[in-house]
Chain A
Amino acid sequence: MTSQHDYAAAAARDATNPDREALLAELARVLPAAALLSATEDLKPYECDGLTAYSALPWAVALPQNDAQVVAVLKVCYARQVPVVARGAGTGLSGGATPVVQGVVLSLAKFMRILEIDPLARLARVQPGVRNLAISEAVAPHGLYYAPDPSSQIACTIGGNVAENSGGVHCLKYGLTLHNVVRLRVALMNGEVIEVGSHALDDPGYDLLALLIGSEGMLGVVLEATVKLTPTPRTAQVVMASFDSVVDAGDAVAAIIAAGIIPAGLEMMDKLATAAVEDFVHAGYDLTAAAILLAESDGTAEEVAEEIAAMSVLLEKNGARNLRISQSEAERLKYWAGRKAAFPAVGRITPDYMCMDGTIPRKHVAHVLTRIAELSAEFHLRCANVFHAGDGNLHPLIMFDARNPGETERAIAFGAKILELSVDVGGTITGEHGVGIEKVRQMCVQFSREELDKFHAVKAAFDPLTLLNPGKAVPYPRHCSEYRLIGSAR
């Protein structure tokens, strides 16, 4: 964490750094004046992404307007061995876009054009700075949409979605970014431009597309993406169920899946999350329930009626009370509005919060939620839980107040415990938010030294000098030995 005081000192020191001066002069030759930021007050908005607990001031921010400028910036930085951090909308939650001190932030914010929509092929070719929701809006007249819908979809960009392999509340049925992006044009750190994937369904050679998606901006800079479009279902309905225990809610989820139903969405919220959300959006949630489930069905009217009826039976059989089925599109959206606003809603009831992102085998949800409640008491910090129940992706929201001495550190330690718990039950430390800098140490819990070495080798295959978003996602041996020391001291 960098305080204001550190900034002032660093900025003063850097202002006269000859390497910085030389870099800025070279960047100024390849970028229009308005596309290069270097004054401290201009750099400030880029000091962090959605993970505000970590921040750093870069040497410069580049805002190129075309491919040639991106390539030119990369070449300048490559030649001078200056680190580069690519950035979309900055909504990431793991610090993937946190600047590197003495590095350049490469903002793709000006790449906002949808280049081509091919309704017959069900593909859209877009620039990386296009917002997730803007794609669905643009293709709606064709009866199509872009399926992945992270909660931040109003603001987050497709380039960022590619970097994080973003999901959303419908990905059990419709997949993640990985399943919905078919082609990328990517600039490597040395300025070389490669094409991976295609408008066909596969390509010769290794699946580099799978490596690039979710690579947290460490392998290349996305210049263009082709995304797959999905036919908009004729209709959708959601059933909302209240449970007196999270165990029953977990059992109900398992029963629905075991019955051969893949709901379009299947979400759980615990009592604290429900209360925060209800206060914010007035969606009519049951405030007395220990957990509520939202189960959505989409398809033809007949299909939806059949599936909603089947799910209702299974929910009731597993202890649900107070079933409510959306009777209109407005009501359906209202039920979802609460879930989608869970993060900002929690933000209203606490000065600061941290969002965890472990994925667990679904059968362990009751155990994990119980253990989180115990940890919450232990660390004296409240924690609300929202859960992509269909795919086991859990988002505990740890509430804290950074103004209280030691509380941020306590929140981070609490978060670390939750991530370790996710790994213990056979899951992963991150389902969709990425490792970034936030969870880089917990990578040591999930992976062996040899596996981490392989990740470094994969990075080196694309970026041999380790200049693109260095220090993120994959820890070095020293991170792991430090982490083990902290662990044993606790």
Chain B
Amino acid sequence: MSDAIEEFRSRILERKPLRLKGGGSKDFYGGPLQGELLDTRSHSGIVGYEPSELVITARGGTPLAEIESALAARRQCIACEPPRFGAATIGGAIVGGATIGGAVAAGLSGPRRATAGSLRDFVLGVTLMDGEGRELIFGGQVMKNVAGFDVSRLITGSLGTLGLILDVSLKVMPLPAAEATLRFELPQDQALDTMNRWAGQPVPLAATCWQGDVLTLRLCGAQAAITAACKSLGGELVAEPEAAGFWTALREQTAQFFAGPDTHGPLWRLSLPSVTPPLDLPAPQLIEWGGAQRWLRGAVDVASLREMAAKAGGHATLFRGGDKAGGVFSPLPPSLMEVHRRLKQSFDPYGVFNPGRLYPEL
């Protein structure tokens, strides 16, 4: 048993609120940070990686960038491209940025999510320490596993409120053999229609981004398929390294739209059905995921924004900045909140893990 795990356990058994933190790259996300700090990075390292099994297992405190560099060396990747937020390589070493445990806890996915799947789709198993210091293994290291309820995917996106993630096993995929980025001048309504139509055709669409009347498309796949799609779709080919830089800046939210000063107002994330028509909002928008993820920068009326999102069949999250008093995530109906409360109670009966980070009640 590692010292780190024993230390985690003894902290948990004190039954006092803990604020779980990996790289701290997503401290801005979710409700208020409450409780004593528990840094997970003492429990770090890749435990197992066999490229031909398409599975990697790593300790929760392992930097995501370290995992991705090990995968890249074998031409593999985490296909949903979860954000690393602020990772940097200094003198050959990876510094800062997200850990895999934090990435799974937050459940965020990057530019390829609409076509490749979400981080939750790639989680195969987790080892969790619950609120009573018990180590529990759910899922495993195999692609198909229906033994027991799918707790490892329940944990994904639970913002650390159900337990401390000790180990994670992920399904990994080959890096695309070829990529291309195309650019089109299109107003929002036409861009939305185009993204949805092309997503319904057998073209190797990997990611989309619309902003300021420009639609940028990323294609990933076999060289032959990319060549054929470039010919049939048209548009202007964006050369490397500009193209790669564009998608990285989108993934890491270093692009101008996200990175501007706070005076540009809070960043809202709208998760909507991809076919939702353009929303009439008094703030600049950036659209990803074929229309299903829309970022909004600026001060808006929370209640009417949430109502607009709900009406369209989605939800609105106060992603970064702003006043969290109005709730970070869209509220849940009482019947669903009741199920949430019972789950929280069974995994964390003493309210140790990240209280209030997801909802004040949890």
Contact = CB atoms under 8 A, between A and B. Distances in A.
A179 B121 contact: yes
A477 B347 CA distance: 20
Contact of A119 (B54, B200, B204, B333): B200
B255 interface: no
Contacts of A262: 173-174
A285 to B, nearest CB: 25
Interface in A96-148: 118-122, 142-144
A435 B293 CA distance: 37
Contacts of A306: 222-224
B53 A362 contact: yes
Contacts of A300: 202, 224-225, 228
A397 to B, nearest CB: 18
A388 B173 contact: no
Interface string A347-373: 000000000000111110000000000
Interface string A427-461: 11111111100010001001110111011011111
Interface in B167-202: 173-175, 177, 193, 196-197, 199-202
A208 B130 contact: no
A103 to B, nearest CB: 21
Of B114, B137, B150, which is in contact with the most chain A CB atoms at under 10 Å from its CB?
B150
Contacts of A171: 143-144
Contacts of B121: 175, 178-179
A199 B291 CA distance: 12
Interface string A281-308: 0000000000000000001101101110
A164 B202 contact: no
Nearest to B293: A201
B154 interface: yes
Contacts of A143: 200-202
Contact of B347 (A119, A361, A452, A454): A454
Contact of A205 (B118, B130, B332): B332
Nearest to A429: B147
B171 to A, nearest CB: 9
- Report the contact-size class of chain B (Cβ under 8 Å from the partner): 35 or more
A395 B346 CA distance: 35
Contact of B148 (A206, A232, A474): A474
Given A199-B313, A206-B158, A120 B142 contact: no
Interface stretch (A11-19, A34-42, A253-261, A338-346): A253-261
A359 B317 contact: no
B346 A458 contact: yes
Interface stretch (A22-30, A63-71, A209-217, A322-330): A209-217
B146 A431 contact: yes
B146 A258 contact: no
A202 interface: yes
Contacts of A430: 145-147
Contacts of A473: 148
B146 A432 contact: yes
A204 to B, nearest CB: 4
A305 B358 CA distance: 49
A202 B54 CA distance: 25
A363 B202 CA distance: 33
A471 to B, nearest CB: 15
29 contacts: A167-B144, A171-B144, A176-B144, A178-B121, A178-B153, A194-B339, A200-B315, A201-B289, A202-B157, A204-B329, A204-B332, A205-B332, A205-B337, A208-B336, A211-B149, A214-B149, A260-B76, A260-B175, A262-B173, A359-B142, A361-B50, A363-B50, A431-B146, A434-B146, A435-B148, A455-B148, A457-B342, A460-B346, A461-B342
Given A207-B153, A232-B202, A426-B140, 16 more contacts: A167-B144, A194-B335, A199-B314, A200-B272, A202-B118, A207-B158, A208-B154, A215-B150, A255-B52, A303-B225, A363-B50, A392-B144, A432-B144, A451-B137, A454-B347, A461-B343
Interface of A: 118-122, 142-144, 164-165, 167, 171-172, 175-176, 178-179, 188, 192-196, 198-208, 210-211, 213-215, 219, 229, 231-234, 254-255, 257-258, 260-262, 299-300, 302-303, 305-307, 359-363, 388, 390-393, 426-435, 439, 443, 446-448, 450-452, 454-455, 457-462, 464, 473-474
The 10 closest A-B pairs by CB, nearest first: A302-B224, A457-B346, A210-B153, A260-B174, A431-B144, A391-B143, A461-B342, A200-B314, A199-B273, A204-B329
